[in-house]
Structure 1
Amino acid sequence: MPVPRTTGTAVAVILLALGVPAVAASGAAAASLAVPAARVTSAPATVTVTGEGSAVAEPDIAVVGAGVEATAKTARAALNARNQAAAALLKAVRAQGIAARDIRTENVSLSPVYDYQDGESTPKDYRAAQSFSIKVREVATTGALSTAVTEATGDAGRISSVVFDLDDRRPLQARARKAAYRDAHAKTAQYARLGGHRLGRLVSLSEGGTGYVLPMPPVSGDVPGAGIGVAPLAPGEIRATAWVTAVYALG
């Protein structure tokens, strides 16, 4: 049969009958019915800052955009002239000590040149072109390479660009990130002192972005080769930047 439930008063009566004080009985009943109080905690104080850092380095490579272009009355003649000029360009580049892995064909083209008269267009000539990307691993020899290309190709030669860069950008970018982190840490330490706190642990860190600034190229556009190679070149410096957002706890 079901066991009847015992109330707090009934427990007190039973305990009195057994010689247990009623105060103890009521205390036991109260303990059995007590509910633990909720603990209220506040979120720890934090400070959030944005850190910015940069690092610079001298270029260790140059990427030269060079090519040849020839125009003739027939497509075959234009192709032959282009191929001859391209072979001369490659020979001159290799004579400068440029490895085959650092020479890449970027574009090869053949197109008609139209003559427009009385609203009609008719093919007049054919233009054949070929462009190359040449990586120069000795920056100081960039000018000599440009000179060699223009002398070997004559009026058919083109120097389209010279861009100074780093063969491996990662170490410079890592230095910029380190500078950004240090900037964020210094700012949080200052804010902690100003607020009368102790700087605690790093709660979170996120990268807001990175940047990479190359020197302005001294040569750009489709420029005929004659005379360009002897121009003095200024490599300048390369700058990498980074931004981070850091959250620190305050003690």
Structure 2
Amino acid sequence: MPVPRTTVTAVAVVLLALGAPAVTAPGAAAAGPAVSAARVMSAPATVTVTGEGSAVAKPDIAVVGAGVEVTAKTTQAALNAQNEAAAALLKAVRAQGIADGDIRTENVSLSPVYDYQDGESTLRGYRAAQSFSIKVREVAATGALIAAVTEATGDAGRIDSVVFDLEDRRPLQARARKAAYRDAHAKATQYAELGGHRLGRLVSLSEGGTGYALPVPPVAGDAPGAGIGAVPLAPGEIRATASVTAVYALD
């Protein structure tokens, strides 16, 4: 009786079932695990670093929060007094060379005022107020503007805030990003040298975050450049920050 022929594939299946190494026929393709191992061996080494950077600049504008507030017996009397004080404020601001486009009304309010005693409330009058945001494009003139507003409005005048800023923040933020990138590159270069490699190409780069710190000075102090008879101010510096995560190949 003729003996049936056994194919190489059938033999391989039997050997694998018995736990023995499979035999590859001449000319057959390499097994999958060998290909995977080759790919792992050829994967390039990389280094991942985080870079941080910052940049500072002197402010080129100031935003002043100013307003008026008055109290009177009747609503009409309160409104009349508030309107008069607000008109005086605007006149003083325009006299300092501030354009109408840089003056904005932020809030107008009228509310009753009560006195409280022994658990009872008594209407004392009405409070009328109006607040403005004023952009000063010459930082050194900010103190003179504040002095002019307070002189024109008297007891009704209010200075709520002074914030120094940049008209365009983008160039400063770009400098911070550049500093963060350079920091990441320097760190990656150092790690490559410590590991006996040379730094290769940039594989990926992602921004971790940015920041922007504004100086908010008190309306007081001894600062040069504010002007004679003006409120002295210290503009300080504006700081932008950035962080990046970079992945480099190692040669």
**Alignment TM-score, normalising by the size of structure 1:** 0.82
> Where in structure 2 are the equivalents of 1:138-217 lying within 5 Å?
138-217=138-217
Q: Distance in 2 between matches of 1:184 and 1:190?
A: 10
Equivalent residues of 1:160, 1:219 under 8 A apart = no
> Where in structure 2 are the equivalents of 1:214-233 lying within 5 Å?
214-219=214-219, 230-233=230-233
What is the CA-CA distance between 1:118 and the residue it aligns to?
2.5
Q: CA deviation digits over 1:144-178, x for unaligned, max 9?
A: 11111111111111111111110111110010000
Aligned partner of 1:36 among 21, 30, 50: 30
Q: CA deviation digits over 1:64-123, x for unaligned, max 9?
A: 000001110111100000000001101111111111111111110001110112211121
Q: Distance in 1 between matches of 2:201 and 2:74?
A: 75
CA-based RMSD of the aligned residues comes to 2.1
Which residue is 1:124 aligned to?
124
What is the CA-CA distance between 1:35 and the residue it aligns to?
2.7
Which residue is 1:97 aligned to?
97
Letter matched to residue 138 of structure 1? E
Equivalent residues of 1:189, 1:199 under 8 A apart = yes
What is the CA-CA distance between 1:31 and the residue it aligns to?
4.8
What is the CA-CA distance between 1:230 and the residue it aligns to?
3.2
Larger radius of gyration: 1
Letter matched to residue 192 of structure 2? A
Q: Distance in 2 between matches of 1:31 and 1:133?
A: 86
> Where in structure 2 are the equivalents of 1:54-133 lying within 5 Å?
54-133=54-133
Which residue is 1:226 aligned to?
none
Q: Distance in 2 between matches of 1:197 and 1:112?
A: 76
Letter matched to residue 187 of structure 1? K
Gaps of 5+ in 2: 8-24, 221-228
Which residue is 2:14 aligned to?
none
Aligned residues: 219
Letter matched to residue 115 of structure 2? D
* Paired residue secondary structure (1:205): strand
Which residue is 2:53 aligned to?
53
Q: Distance in 2 between matches of 1:7 and 1:157?
A: 105
Dislocated runs of 4+, deviation >4 Å: none
Q: Distance in 2 between matches of 1:147 and 1:73?
A: 29
Letter matched to residue 69 of structure 2? E
